[in-house]
Structures are given as C-alpha cells and as structure tokens.
Structure 1
Amino acid sequence: MNFFTRRCGLALLLLTQAVDAETDADLDNGPVQLSPIVVTATRTEQAADETLASVTVISREELELRQSTTVAEALNGMVGLQFSNNGGLGKTTSLFMRGTNSDHVLVLIDGVKVGSGTTGAAAFEHIPVDQIDHIEVVRGPRASLYGSEAIGGVIQIFTRSGKDGSRKSASISGGAHDYFGASASLSERFDKTWINLSANYERTAGINSCQGSLFGGCFTNEPDRDGYKSKSGSFRIGHQLTDDLEFGFNTLHTEGETDFDGSFTNETDFVQQVTGGSIAWDVTTNWRLTTRAGLSKDENENHLNGVFASRFDTKRNSRSVQSDYQLNEAQLITLGYDYLDDRITSSTAYAETSRRNEGGFGQYQLTAGRWSLQASARHDSNEQFGNHETGGGALGYFADNGVTTTVSYGTAYKAPSFNELYFPGFGNASLNPEESKTAELGISGNFQGIDWSSNFYQTTVDDLIAFDMATYAPANISEAKIKGVELQAITLIAGWNINTQFTFLDAKNEDGGPNHDNMLPRRARQSLRVDGDRRSGKWEYGGTLQARSNAYDDLANNDRIGGFVTVDLRGSYQLTPQFLLQGKVNNLLDKTYSTAANYNQDGANLMFTLRWQDNN
C-alpha cells in the first residue's frame, strides 16, 4: 500500500470516528455525510473539508433524492451559481459562477476539458444526469492549475465507474409535455478490474421556448412547442495492473436534436462526446506519476425549418503528465505539463481553424499543526496570444473550536474564442486574453449542530471582451468588478435535513463608458436556495425553494428580468427492497418567470419515476 492510499485512509478513519459520536436517532432521521474525497481543487486527493477552496460535492444519491433531470436543476441556486436557460429542457443553458461570464468556468468530464471552441462555453443542457456518479464544484480561480477558462471556478463531472462493486439499476420516467425517459446502468468489479456500462434516452414535446418579436429575444414569433430528444451511453473500465500501476479508460457519447425559436436557425442536431484514458504509477511509496489523454467533441448542425443552415464542430485533444511527490507527511509537491489542441470544422470559413496551448505548472501543499498552505504557479504558451503566467495561494487555520479560516488570492485568464477571434466579418485576431484577480476570505464551523460556512470575495476582470460599436468587432474594452458574499447552513431539525444557501452578488460594469456602474447581464443581486428532506419508514419527502431578485438582460440595464420565487415538492416510496416509486411537482405555485429575457420557463408540471436497483 502506497502513501497516497494511506493518506486517504487516515482521513476517512478520522471522519468515521467523528461520525461515531452521532446518535442513532440522527442516523435514523437522515444520512450523516462523510466529507468526500475530492481531486478538482488541487488536482490531488483531499477530504473536501480539508481543502482551502470553497467546494461542493453532489453525489449520485443526492441527484436521485432531488430527482434532478438536468445538471442546471441540480446546481442552480447553490452558493455562487446562477444559471440562465433559453426555454426549457435541451435549450441553451449558461452558468454564471460568482458573477463571471458564462465562458469563465472550466468544465471537465472525467478529467477531460469540454466545451465549444467557437462559443467558448460548455453545453450543460446536453450532459445526461443519469450517467453521472458525482459532481465537484470548486468556486474561485484555478487557472494556476488548469490554465484558461477557470476565472469563476471549475466544475468536474464524474461518470459512473463500477469501482464500488456490483450494482445494477434501471429507471423509467414520464411527465408533463409528453416527457418520457429511460435509463439503465450495470457496474461490476472482478478482483482487480471494474467496469460500468450505462445508457439513457429522453424526449419531450417541450414548451414554447420564446415569446419573441422582430426586435428582441429570439427575433421572431413562433408560438409552437419546441421539443427535445437525446440518447446517450457511457463506458468506463479500470484495471489494477500491479500493486503500483493502474489503468483507466472512459467514454461518454450523447446525441440528439433540439427545436427552438429563431429567425436564422430553429433546429439543431448535436453530438457531444468525451473520451479519456489514464495511467497512474506509484513509482515509490511517496511518488506518483499520472499520465492522461483525452478527446472531446462538440458537433452542431443547424437548420431553419428543416433546411440546412450551418455546421460548427469542435475537437479538443488534450494530454497531461503529473508528478506528485510527498516530501513527508506534511508536504506535497506537484509538477505537471498540459497540452491542448483545439480544432474547428465549419460551414463558415474561419481565418484560423486550430490553436495549440502548452502549459507547465507547479504546486506546493503544506500542513503544519493547525495551519495549512497551498501555493501554485503556471506558465502557458499559446499559439495565438503568446505567453501567460498565473498564480495562486491560500492559507488556512483550523482552530481547536472547529472554526476554519482561510484567505486566498489568485490570478486567472480566459483565452478568446474562435468566434471572437476569427468569425468572418466579426472577429478580431488581435484580441488579448481576459485577465482577473480574486481575493477571498472564508470562515466555516459548527454551532450547536449547524454546519455553517461564509465566503467573502472580490474579483476584478480586466480586458473583458465586448462588442465595440465603433469598429463593429469585439475588443478588449471592458472591465468588471465583482463582490460577493456566500452563506450556507446545514442542519437537522425534527428529522428534516435542511440545507440553506444564500448569495449576495454585486457584479458591476467598470468600463468608464455609458454603462459604467451597471449590473452585468443576467446576474441577480440576491439568490436563495433551501432544500429540505425527511425520511419516515419507507417514505422520503422534501422540497426545494428558490428565490432570485431581478436582473437585466443587457449591458444598458434597460431589459429587466423580474425576480421570482419557485417551490418544488418531491416524494418517494420504497415499494420493495429493489423498487422505488418517485414523484415530483415542479413550480408548484405555477409562477410565470424567466432567467433570460423573452425566454419562457415551465409552469407547474408533474413527473413520476420508477427505479429498480440490485446491489448483489
């Protein structure tokens, strides 16, 4: 057994001893959560409550308990996270993490970077929830470890692995708007080999996605239902070649079609695919080498009323080598190299269709008594904009009363997208990367059974890319200052597991022009999410309340998006040890609201799911 395994085992042992102090009544009324092991915050294994970053982990069990049908539904309203959606299931979905732009968040699937090279953002709407094992959310800059895109934070999605042993499951769902969904998953472990196969299908007739006009929204009025359907499959295998050598391979493929309202295109056939492989070698008991290779594809063929209009395909080839060396039980040094090659193929003639980036990074982690330190630096060499350096550091103190205090500072950047650089008649090949600086204070602890945390941060983004009306092209002309407060409290009250999350956000335009001091588009100042769940015998029931203050859809702050409050209720009944019946009412109060101007959200709607699971 190598040192890395012992390190994780010690963390779990300490956590288990802490859980032993809980009463049987607590265990009966709700699950006591162990602090999970995360890898995204530092690219090394850590217990989540030992990291110096603001981290949230969503487990497979939580996804099923909340009956989440999309990634946005699972994450929306959590501290620092606001999603916008263009009209229902399968429609364009954007994430604004800590008030930064929608392309300022790095998205990984099983360690592989995903996203469109043309738009610069990931398609959250096409990631199948039924294929997900867990999600790690890291708030705050991580460019000094990952390079471009990680200004607001990082979201890493892990597919099911089979590493935990034999498990077979299936589900079938039906609901409003002719929704139908079906999924199946098979996990097996054979001594030193583990494997998972999963498949999913869903379709819906949808809602009318947009109340548009010739001058706003989708710039057309098509009062019809906009459907969506997708099918997906994933395969993952791992094998322990020797006691010191482990191999892994994974692939996730999703394809389908989505309809929407638009004057230039109103139908898209899409393909999303992520494939990766890794080899981890414990050279000695305190030195691990890991190599990874990945390929992600984002393919979109657009039509207008069935007639071909355009095609945009992206391929991202990535490779990495990482060395983790444990100097002693208190110090860990990480050195790594990343290679990324972006290529696009399109019916539109771009001036350039490929771009390479090479990055080298280093990280030092120290634990000294109640103090913990993390420092990292990275150098990127990009074929388009040249060299770029980023850095970050965090210091934490774990007091004997259970209160943890952290301070951190980090720089980050975002490389321009191919659309911003090279789109015919629109692009500007002279664009520089957007740059940011973030300072943060975090305080967390436990008070009379309440796990609480608070984070205070300020981010300044320079050289923001915005459309320059003087040249009719994008330019580095904008700046933004973002201040935020994130508060969370988790507790058990009368058998109810209550999770309350509140975010205050002050995201302002600081460009010195006519829009100076205006709110950045689609960022609400206040957002609240409260989840409550309870178990009673064979029943589980709960609900989610979400509230968001008003926002604006434009830089001039003329197009107002009204605030809203929604309530979802859910329940389930264990029919047999293998069968579970679930039901959910979304938007119980039938509120009319939107998260993007002119784009509709669904009213009150109902969904049922029958799940089967066999762990033998």
Structure 2
Amino acid sequence: MVIPSAVFVCVLSPFNLAWADDSNEATLDEVQVHSTVLKDYLVTTEVITAEKIKEMGATNLAEAIKMVPGLNIVTGDKKARLARIRGAATDQTKVYIDGMPAFPLSGIASNSASNLENIPADNIEKIEIIKGPGPVQYGTDYKGGIILITTKSGKGPGQFNLNLSGGSHSSFDNYITYSGSDSKASYYATAGKKQGNRELNNTEFDTEFFNGKIKWNLNKDTDLTLSGYYMNTDREISNGVDQITGQETSATTNKWSGDTWVDGKSDVKNWKYKNFKQTNIALQLDQKTSDKFKYNVKLYHITDGNDLWVLNGNNAANHINTPTHPTWYSSTWTSKGNGIEFTGDLQTDRNNTMTFGTKYNKIDWDSDDILNVTNSGTDKRIGYYFQDSLRLGDKTELTLGVRHDKVTQSFLRAKDVDDSVTDPVFNITHKLDKQNTLRLSAGKSHIFATAKQAENNVTKGYAIPDPEKAKNYELGWKHDFDEKSSLDVAVFNNKITDRIDRIPKTDPWININKTDIHGVELQYNRSFTNRLKGFVNYTYLDSKDTDTKGVETRSTDLPHNTVNYGLTYTVDKFQASVLGHYLGNILTPDETYKKLDSYHTVDLNFNYQQNKNIEYYLHVNNIFDTNYWETYECPGDGINFMAGVTVKM
C-alpha cells in the first residue's frame, strides 16, 4: 500500500502543486475551523474538528462521532458499525466524503457494507452532522441525518508524515501521508494498513486503504478537485454468544446455505468477508460566474465487491462437502455505478438566495453463490430540488425547499419497479437577542424499498412494500451564556407511516402501520480555563410501533437515555482527555433476552508533543473494564489500548 502513495507523490512533484491561502481552510499542523456553512441550515447540527478527533483518540469515523447527542453507534448486520440518528434505521443515515457518497449502496441494496469503521479518521479536517429536516440538496430519502466529511488539504512545501501504532488484541495501525501546496493547488494522500483480532472468536481483520485529494485553483473564481478512496479488507465476523451459557451461537434457519439439518436445526457460523473492496473516484468543478451566481458539478464512479463465506457446521462435523451441501458456503457481490450532480446558487438580492439542482446515479449489481443461485439488477435514481433562503430583517431567516425523487429498479427475474415522491422542507430561525436563538424545522422524508428487498418479495410472490414516509419536526433553542459556555436544546418528533421491516427475519419485507419517534437533546459546552474545557450532553429517545389493529409496542435496539461527557486538559506539550458514555434501558427483539442492562464506560487519551516533528499518544478504552452487551448476543469489548507515534519528515 506504500506503492500507490509513492506513485501519487511522483506524479505530483513535477507540477509543484499548491493552493492559495484560504482563511476557511485548515492546515496540517493545526486544524482550526473558522466558520461553517451549517449555521445557515437552520437545524440542529454538530461540528467535530480534527482537534476534537485527536482529543477523543478516534481512529475511525465510528469512534469520532460516538459522543454526538441523538446518535448511537450500533452493531448492525454482519457486525458492521453503523449510526442510528434519532431512532432512524441504520441505512437512513447518509455519509458524504468531500461531497461524494461514501456508501452509495445504502438504501439501494444493503447496509452491511456501510461500516463506519472502514473510514479512517487520520485525514479528516472536520465532520458535520445534520439532524432533523436538512437541506434538500442532499435528498429527503433519509430520516436519521447526514454526515458530511471534509478531508484535509495540504499547505506549504511537500512533507511526509508517518504514523506507527500498536495495541491490545494483536492490533496495529500504520500509515503514511504526503501533503503540500503552493499558489495553484494543494494535495494530500494517505496510504496505510491495519490489523487486529478482538476479544471474541472469529474477529480477525486485515485492511489496506488509500485516499487522496488534489485541488487546483484554476483562477480566482474556479476550483477543480480530484479525490479518490480505496479499501481492501479481509474481515471475520464474530459469532454470537449466549448470555447464560457463554457458548457461541449460530443461525438455525439458514436453509439457503446448504447446511444439513440435524434435529431440526442448522449450524451456520464463522462468517467472514474475503476481498471486500470499495473504491470511489470523483471530480468536482466549483465556479463563481458572477457576484450573484455560483455552481458546482460533481462526477463520480464507485465500485463495491466482496465474497461472503460461512461455515456449515453440521456438514463439517459429518464430513459432507457436495455441490448442494457444501462445508463452506459462499456468496459473491459485485456492483459499479456512476453519478452526476449539479447545484447552483443564485442571489436575487442581498436578502434572498435560491438554490437549485439535480442528481442522477445508476448502479448495476450482480450476486451469485456456490449453489448457483444468481441475481442481478440495476438501480437508477434521479432527483430535482429547489430551495429559497430569505432573510426577514436582521433577526429572522427562513428557508423553503422542495424535492422530487424518482427510482427505477430492474431485475433479472422480477418485474421492474418505478416510483416517485415529492417532499417539502421548511426551516426558520429567529434571534431573540445576542444570547438566544430559536429555530423551528418541519419536513417530509421517504425511503424507497431497496432493490434487494423488492426482488426478494417479487420472486417469492409478495407485493413490494410501499415507500416509507415520515413527517419530521424539530424545535430548538441555543443560549450563549458568555464566550466560554453555551447550552443547546432540541425537541424532535418523527411520525413514520408504512415503515419497512422484516418480522420475523424469514418473512418477506412488509410495511409496519405507524411508528412514532420523539425525544429531547441537551448539550452544554464550557471552557473553564485556557487549559481546561469540557462538555456534557443528554438524549431522551422514545420510539413506538403501532400495527393495523392499534396494538402499540416499544421499538427495539434503542436506548431510552444516553449521557456523554468529557474533559480535556492541555498544558505545554501535554494533553489529556477523559470521556464517559452511558446507555440505559434498551429492549431487544429476542424473546429470551428482552432487555439489556444499562452500562457506563470511560476512556482515557494522552498526547505528548516532544517537538514540532514528533508526537506520542496513548488511548485506553473502557478503563474500568465494564462488562456490557451491545446486543443480546454481542458482548462489548473489555479494556483495550493503542499506543503510537507520529513523525513528520
């Protein structure tokens, strides 16, 4: 993986690439976000800078965002680390890297590949999280939220950075970066490799990754950005564990794998991904044509593929390995797609800006397995949107938006699907005084049945689920006590109809009549001194499902109460942080283990800057070795650590 980085550097060096200084950009030596356009979105947002990521000791996206109020990092399908924002399903959170979709298959085919642990935190400049009815340019096909990642840009003469780290469970995370700039462009590239083997059986992973960005300043009004991402991993998926016996569990109804049933049960476990590869390459043009109009165009190409293997235990025990009853069952997934987006901003007068645009993408996918069951299909999506932002006096801002989306899905052995929906969004903020700001948001959102869900139902003779629709509301209040402390409060409600789910897992995908999610988020930030700063936040979340008979049940896998807190102390060359995380009152879909015990974990992080070229760090997670369960069959990690050094060359 060092070779792509070296090639990248060799290609760039002759051009003496650089980028003109921009006060809104972050340097590699000290990242500072001076402003953010999220303040104009008029909804609840969270901004996580590179400095905050360093304080938390985060090595990937999942770790970097786990302290955000209203957001829960959960263990999803195939043990992927996914985000649930305000109770929405894991595939209803969108992730963008430099404006490009990081997981374009989310909401189209599967979310098991949308593992947030696969996005390294090393070259992230900032993370912006939008909660509530957001800007229509990102779509209305989400109810959770949007995670926007901006990667770093180089500044100054070309420089190598080397990171070497290792820790518990035979883990290491090593990578090298090269970055720089001058008057015309900037560049930043990272290549690395990480391995590990967690406490549970069947958890070994081996990942190689590369990502980079070049931004050319063609003239004072035009920028051209080329960015790319590559990941290749082999990853085992930990087996489930029975809480009472401590024995590993396995699937008992997977007839599709070819396992021979013994005493009415199959024995399917030891799942693993082989050759799990994802790529994303994108080109973006930003141009300001006049003082009143600017636009950007994005072109991108993505690929996604993997081989998923699982051991048939009964076949292995009885030495059976035939084409219809294999010892190891495997299925292969491959997909590729292209997308194009256009966004324009027109300022009609100093108090009014109109935003409009369109987005089109097409993804072709194929799947097959060792039993010669093949599937293939195409998913096309096109959307149009318009948004008007008005300044009503010095204290009030109003945004009105509407978006129309259309989906066309075709399948190898099923009829085509065509559907469309139109959603409005409304946001308003009013500044009461210098210290207090109120905000109100309302909007509609939708989720189409994924291509895989639709084909599953059609090929088995079932109707395709209707689009899942929701009405989303939020009321917020921001109070600045002074320059050193602030309080933010948000009350939200999502009213969902025809929620798409599969109950039980062997049945077709269906629509659940109604789901009502409501909650409260509170966040307090304070700088006690120049050396000591901290935060605390609290989230209350309640979600209930109602069937067609009016029977109401509480939704599963969501904590009723979440508390996060942290303190950071900095003195001279030394920095220390303590982070606490509490989750309480979680129901599960399992009949035996209906509820998880509440739990509280604490992490410690230390950083020491020896000089401008050498920095040491130590991250210790779950320092009190708390025993807890992430799901009813997945115990959480015990105490673990990672120590490393970063060297600038």
Q: What range describes the TM-score normalised by the shorter chain of this pair?
A: 0.7 to 0.9
Verify the 8 A CA contact 2:295 2:344 in the aligned structure 1: yes
2:600 corresponds to 1:565: yes
* Amino acid corresponding to residue 355 of structure 1 in structure 2: D
2:541 corresponds to 1:505: yes
2:533 corresponds to 1:541: no
Q: 1:276, 1:471 → 2: CA distance?
A: 39
Q: 1:506, 1:34 → 2: CA distance?
A: 34
Q: Residue in 2 aligned with 1:582?
A: 617
Check 1:434–1:120 CA distance in 2 against 1; reply closer, same or farther (3 A cut): farther
The alpha carbon displacement at 1:338 in A equals 0.6
Q: Residue in 2 aligned with 1:124?
A: 116
Check 1:580–1:326 CA distance in 2 against 1; reply closer, same or farther (3 A cut): same
Verify the 8 A CA contact 1:91 1:125 in the aligned structure 2: no
Check 1:176–1:292 CA distance in 2 against 1; reply closer, same or farther (3 A cut): same
Which fold has the larger relative contact order, with Cα–Cα distance below 8 Å and residues 6 or more apart in sequence? 1
* Amino acid corresponding to residue 88 of structure 2 in structure 1: T
Counterpart pick for 1:485 among 520, 525, 541: 520
Give a deviation string over 1:195-226, Cα, whole Å, max 9, x none. 11111211012221xxxxxxxxxxxxxxx352
Q: 2:96, 2:463 → 1: CA distance?
A: 27
Verify the 8 A CA contact 1:135 1:157 in the aligned structure 2: yes
Q: Residue in 1 aligned with 2:430?
A: 397
* Amino acid corresponding to residue 481 of structure 2 in structure 1: F
**SS, match of residue 72 in structure 1:** helix
**SS, match of residue 454 in structure 2:** helix
Q: 2:287, 2:384 → 1: CA distance?
A: 20
Give a deviation string over 1:553-572, Cα, whole Å, max 9, x none. 21879622221000111112
Verify the 8 A CA contact 1:361 1:378 in the aligned structure 2: yes
Q: Residue in 1 aligned with 2:390?
A: 366
- Larger C-alpha radius of gyration, 1 or 2? 2
* Amino acid corresponding to residue 361 of structure 1 in structure 2: Y
Verify the 8 A CA contact 2:512 2:545 in the aligned structure 1: no
Q: 1:159, 1:32 → 2: CA distance?
A: 11
Instruction: Choose 552-561 or 121-130, whichever is displaced more.
Output: 552-561
Give a deviation string over 1:333-392, Cα, whole Å, max 9, x none. 111011021221111557661121111100111223111111110111221342210110
Counterpart pick for 2:204 among 227, 230, 240: 227
Q: Residue in 1 aligned with 2:85?
A: 97
2:258 corresponds to 1:267: no
The alpha carbon displacement at 1:601 in A equals 1.6
**SS, match of residue 631 in structure 2:** coil
Give a deviation string over 1:509-567, Cα, whole Å, max 9, x none. 122559x4332221101101101101012211111000000212218796222210001
2:338 corresponds to 1:317: yes
**SS, match of residue 423 in structure 1:** helix
Check 1:157–1:557 CA distance in 2 against 1; reply closer, same or farther (3 A cut): farther
Q: 2:505, 2:80 → 1: CA distance?
A: 29
Give matches, 1:168-567, under 5 Å: 168-208=160-200, 224-260=201-237, 261=239, 263=268, 266-269=271-274, 270-305=276-311, 307=328, 309-347=330-368, 353-367=377-391, 368-383=393-408, 384-423=417-456, 428=462, 430-448=464-482, 449-467=484-502, 472-494=507-529, 495-512=531-548, 516-554=551-589, 559-567=594-602
Q: 2:428, 2:156 → 1: CA distance?
A: 34
2:643 corresponds to 1:608: yes
The alpha carbon displacement at 1:471 in A equals 9.8
Give a deviation string over 1:104-153, Cα, whole Å, max 9, x none. 11122222222433214622132222243321111113373333532111
Instruction: Choose 463-472 or 287-296, whichever is displaced more.
Output: 463-472
Percent identical residues = 21
Q: 1:164, 1:481 → 2: CA distance?
A: 52
Verify the 8 A CA contact 2:85 2:145 in the aligned structure 1: yes
The alpha carbon displacement at 1:420 in A equals 1.3
Verify the 8 A CA contact 2:73 2:84 in the aligned structure 1: yes
* Amino acid corresponding to residue 446 of structure 1 in structure 2: D
* Amino acid corresponding to residue 118 of structure 1 in structure 2: A
Q: 2:208, 2:463 → 1: CA distance?
A: 38
* Amino acid corresponding to residue 534 of structure 2 in structure 1: I
The alpha carbon displacement at 1:395 in A equals 0.8
The alpha carbon displacement at 1:416 in A equals 1.3
The alpha carbon displacement at 1:403 in A equals 0.7
Verify the 8 A CA contact 2:379 2:451 in the aligned structure 1: no
Counterpart pick for 1:112 among 86, 100, 103: 100
Q: 1:544, 1:513 → 2: CA distance?
A: 45
Verify the 8 A CA contact 1:115 1:298 in the aligned structure 2: no
Q: 1:456, 1:427 → 2: CA distance?
A: 42
The alpha carbon displacement at 1:316 in A equals 3.8
Give the TM-score, by structure 1 length. 0.85
Verify the 8 A CA contact 1:519 1:557 in the aligned structure 2: no
Q: Residue in 1 aligned with 2:130?
A: 138
Aligned residues: 561
**SS, match of residue 127 in structure 2:** strand
Instruction: Choose 269-278 or 311-320, whichever is displaced more.
Output: 311-320
Give the TM-score, by structure 2 length. 0.81
The alpha carbon displacement at 1:422 in A equals 1.0
Verify the 8 A CA contact 1:98 1:505 in the aligned structure 2: yes
Q: 2:143, 2:374 → 1: CA distance?
A: 27
Check 1:328–1:518 CA distance in 2 against 1; reply closer, same or farther (3 A cut): same
The alpha carbon displacement at 1:164 in A equals 7.8
Check 1:526–1:513 CA distance in 2 against 1; reply closer, same or farther (3 A cut): farther
* Amino acid corresponding to residue 419 of structure 1 in structure 2: K
The alpha carbon displacement at 1:466 in A equals 2.2
Q: 2:60, 2:567 → 1: CA distance?
A: 19
The alpha carbon displacement at 1:426 in A equals 5.8
Unaligned 5+ segments in structure 2 are 1-21, 25-29, 240-249, 251-267, 312-326, 409-416
Q: Residue in 1 aligned with 2:243?
A: none
Q: 1:255, 1:280 → 2: CA distance?
A: 31
**SS, match of residue 623 in structure 2:** coil
Q: 1:591, 1:290 → 2: CA distance?
A: 49
Give a deviation string over 1:452-471, Cα, whole Å, max 9, x none. 10000110111111236699
* Amino acid corresponding to residue 236 of structure 1 in structure 2: K
* Amino acid corresponding to residue 206 of structure 1 in structure 2: R
2:92 corresponds to 1:58: no
Q: 2:188, 2:394 → 1: CA distance?
A: 41
Check 1:446–1:93 CA distance in 2 against 1; reply closer, same or farther (3 A cut): same
Check 1:517–1:493 CA distance in 2 against 1; reply closer, same or farther (3 A cut): farther
Q: 1:427, 1:546 → 2: CA distance?
A: 46
* Amino acid corresponding to residue 435 of structure 2 in structure 1: G
Q: 1:559, 1:400 → 2: CA distance?
A: 48
Give a deviation string over 1:254-279, Cα, whole Å, max 9, x none. 11111122625611021122211111
The alpha carbon displacement at 1:486 in A equals 0.5
* Amino acid corresponding to residue 43 of structure 2 in structure 1: A
Q: Residue in 2 aligned with 1:26?
A: none
